[in-house]
A = this chain, B = another copy of it.
Amino acid sequence: MSLRKSWVTSANSAAHPFPLNNLPYGVFSTEDEAPCCGVAIGDMILDVTAAEAAGLIDLGDEPLFDAPMWNPLMEEGPAVWTALRARLVALLEDGANERAKVEVFLVPQAEAEMHMPFQVSEFTDFYAGRHHATNVGTMFRGAENALPPNWLHLPIGYNGRASSVVVSGTDIQRPWGQLKGPNDDAPRWGPSARFDIELEMGAIVGMASAGPLSVQEADDAIFGYVLLNDWSARDIQAWEYQPLGPFQAKATATSISPWIVTKAALDPFRCETPAREVELLDHLKDCGPMLYDIDLEVGLTPDGGSESVIARTNYKEMYYSSAQQLAHHATSGCPMNVGDLLGSGTISGPERGNRGSLLELSWGGTEPLELKTGETRSFIEDGDTLVLKGAAKGKGYCLGFGDCVGTVLPALNDPFAKS
């Protein structure tokens, strides 16, 4: 696979995140236009809501893009997903017949505000990166008990909170919570002092199911991927998470990148999961390359300062693919719905510079990071802007995800202070 040329010339650079090979799906608005569906091509967005209304895209009896979300397309299933992609390529490729008709529906990305690209039905977050699980387990339970006994046999996950998923660019307010340090006699009510990121990929379920799924069926049901930052209050988590798992520590917000990069676009970047230390049971066995070779990085910019890249890693570091996670999710007969979002779990690599959370990067706060600005960080400070970036790099082109950004605002005044 090489760069496919578009008549939108900005899309034809080897370094541009949105060439014709990509065609990611988002929801945008402009000063003149309410939120509607769009496809990124080079520096522009094709307004597919308007293009469909004008008859340039016609995939069925009912309009698919008259609501500002991509769920209705997902509901149509893989044949229509494929048909849309083929139609978009035909409209946007170099030499396209209908260029003149299409051009009027292009909007500069610089003039657009991005919104949630789909309605999240439910959100599940996994814990399926081995380096992350080993790092966190070593800090909390010691190196000998780092991986829980079940870890190599199934992708551990927990249900998150769909209501807290927000699009990139949304400010994140530092949460309050119940806190108790290891040396405190009693818990107290206060703002989180160990607020953190988790660098993850999010897989979006595009087909509903109501019973167990094979790994292949699960892969078939995935519609696309986003970058995902699962903001985490480590001090709230430490006090609350036993015995039933993270709850309020992960409920303030989860940010996603604004563009859904489709499984079809990512197909050339499929790769295998790492070698298995113990054989998986049949229902979770790999049956093809279902991870993706996607370079990932995290940048931290202090208020008014310049950005430091604090971590670089790759999605292929995961131990379990999203298909394996979805297959595990459905084992009990759990109904899965269009718009379900599955977080991969934090993606860390083997070296210190590959760690996808500040908890790991600063080793629980004991080894603060040095930033370019000369400041240090153990956890996020007020005013810090965190950005996740991702790109699959082909020969002479790349597929970008669009940044996943959030700035952390100071905690509110105590919402329960007595006046």
Cβ contact within 8 Å between B240 and A161: no
Give residues of chain A (319-346) contacting chain B, Cβ–Cβ below 8 Å: 328-329, 331-337, 340
The listed residue (B154, B236, B283, B337) touching A416 by CB distance below 8 A is B283
Indicate the size class of the contact surface on chain A: 35 or more
Nearest CB in chain B to that of A231: its residue: B332
Give residues of chain A (240-268) contacting chain B, Cβ–Cβ below 8 Å: 240-249, 251-253
Q: How far is the CB of A332 from chain B (nearest CB, A)?
A: 4
The interface residues of chain B lying within 8 Å CB-to-CB of A188 are 281
Cβ contact within 8 Å between B243 and A241: yes
Q: Does A289 contact B (CB under 8 A)?
A: no
- Please, how many angstroms separate the alpha-carbon atoms of A177 and B278 in the complex? 18
Cβ contact within 8 Å between A251 and B158: no
- Please, how many angstroms separate the alpha-carbon atoms of A145 and B43 in the complex? 60
- Please, how many angstroms separate the alpha-carbon atoms of A246 and B243 in the complex? 9
Oligomer copy total: 2
Q: How far is the CB of A220 from chain B (nearest CB, A)?
A: 16
Cβ contact within 8 Å between B164 and A334: yes
- Please, how many angstroms separate the alpha-carbon atoms of A331 and B237 in the complex? 13
Q: How far is the CB of A19 from chain B (nearest CB, A)?
A: 36
Cβ contact within 8 Å between A334 and B244: no
* Known A-B contacts A164-B335, A331-B248, A334-B248; A243 and B178 likewise in contact (beta carbons under 8 Å): no
Nearest CB in chain B to that of A415: its residue: B212
Cβ contact within 8 Å between A244 and B247: no
Q: Does A211 contact B (CB under 8 A)?
A: yes
The listed residue (B121, B127, B177, B329) touching A332 by CB distance below 8 A is B177
Q: Does A214 contact B (CB under 8 A)?
A: yes
* Known A-B contacts A242-B150, A244-B127, A283-B416; A337 and B163 likewise in contact (beta carbons under 8 Å): yes
Cβ contact within 8 Å between B245 and A243: yes
Cβ contact within 8 Å between A246 and B244: yes
Cβ contact within 8 Å between B243 and A156: yes
Q: Does A352 contact B (CB under 8 A)?
A: no
Q: Does A292 contact B (CB under 8 A)?
A: no
Q: How far is the CB of A174 from chain B (nearest CB, A)?
A: 9
Cβ contact within 8 Å between B148 and A332: no
Q: Does A108 contact B (CB under 8 A)?
A: no
Cβ contact within 8 Å between A244 and B158: yes
Cβ contact within 8 Å between A416 and B282: yes
Q: Does A160 contact B (CB under 8 A)?
A: yes
Q: How far is the CB of A230 from chain B (nearest CB, A)?
A: 12
The interface residues of chain B lying within 8 Å CB-to-CB of A159 are 158-161, 247
Cβ contact within 8 Å between A333 and B245: no
Nearest CB in chain B to that of A151: its residue: B243
The interface residues of chain B lying within 8 Å CB-to-CB of A173 are 333
The interface residues of chain B lying within 8 Å CB-to-CB of A333 are 173, 175-176, 251-253
Q: Does A86 contact B (CB under 8 A)?
A: no
* Known A-B contacts A283-B416, A416-B214; A239 and B332 likewise in contact (beta carbons under 8 Å): no
Nearest CB in chain B to that of A172: its residue: B333
The interface residues of chain B lying within 8 Å CB-to-CB of A121 are 163
- Nearest first, the 3 A-B pairs at minimum CB distance are A245-B245, A251-B334, A159-B159
6 chain-A/chain-B pairs, Cβ below 8 angstroms: A159-B159, A189-B281, A189-B283, A212-B415, A212-B416, A243-B245
Give 20 A-B pairs besides A148-B242, A154-B187 with Cβ atoms closer than 8 angstroms.
A153-B186, A154-B240, A157-B247, A159-B159, A159-B161, A161-B334, A163-B337, A163-B340, A164-B334, A175-B331, A188-B281, A212-B415, A236-B332, A241-B244, A245-B245, A247-B329, A251-B332, A251-B333, A252-B332, A253-B333
